[in-house]
Amino acid sequence: MFDGKFRAPIDKAVKPLGHALRRTGLTPDHLTVIGLLVGVGAAFAIGAGHLRLGLLLVILAALPDLLDGALAKASDVASQRGAFFDSTVDRMTDMVLFGGVAWYLASEHSAHMSILPFAVMGLSSLISYQRAKAESLGLEAKGGLMERAERVALLCIGLLWEPLLVPVLWIMLVLTAVTAVQRFVKVWRQAQVAPATLARIEMRRSRRQTRRVARVQRRRTRVPRRRNR
């Protein structure tokens, strides 16, 4: 939901910050790693029961994730490798954050209650997989009620008011399940358009095959270097 309605205005707002960060010498990968490290710190703070400190660190961990894309565009270094790295680190950060929440619930509430954040994380992984698999098939699976930005926002509310933490997690679980259903239906309907789907898949296969052939030809046409005797 966030990506569909607010991504473009926020990207426009942080664009000047990307140009400012470029002059510091930082790279988008630096920001991504910083966000991960701060997220790990937030998980330890939450697990130890310092929810307000955890809230502050969660917000600080979200800032690099917000700015790394703007820095990549400003530095003209946006790439598939960077996007893959950023997405992988996002999943790692989510795992450690919800792991910290689970540790807190097991310590302060009950061991059974600690299953709740793991259930949220499991469904979150499902909707991430749905999008990745759909895009590999040339389809689209973006959108839904509970994407990553919404999960972080709800988690912050739960950390700010501790009595709301468990209800917030239940809301998150339900809305994430709804998102999984929404994405499944969206992809299922797109996949019914067989000719268009097959055309996209064949186009991607053709491009991959063309790149493979080009690499093989380059290897064959390389002139071996002469060794000095």
Give the Cα separation of 140 and 221 in Å (integer).
39
Taking the C-alpha atoms of 96, 100, 103 and 107 in order, what is their torsion angle to the nearest 10 degrees? 170
Alpha helices in the chain (DSSP H): 2-5, 7-22, 28-47, 51-75, 80-108, 115-136, 148-160, 165-191, 194-221
Give the Cα separation of 93 and 43 in Å (integer).
9
Which entry of 68, 76, 90, 94 is annotated as an active-site residue? 90
Give the Cα separation of 206 and 202 in Å (integer).
6
Give the Cα separation of 15 and 66 in Å (integer).
11
Query: What sign does the dihedral 168-174-178-180 (CA atoms) show?
Result: positive
| Sole residue written with tokens 């998102």 | 179
Give the Cα separation of 195 and 118 in Å (integer).
40
Give the Cα separation of 127 and 178 in Å (integer).
10
* Spacing of C-alpha 204 from chain mean position: 24
Is 90 catalytic? The answer is yes
Q: Which residues are catalytic?
A: 90
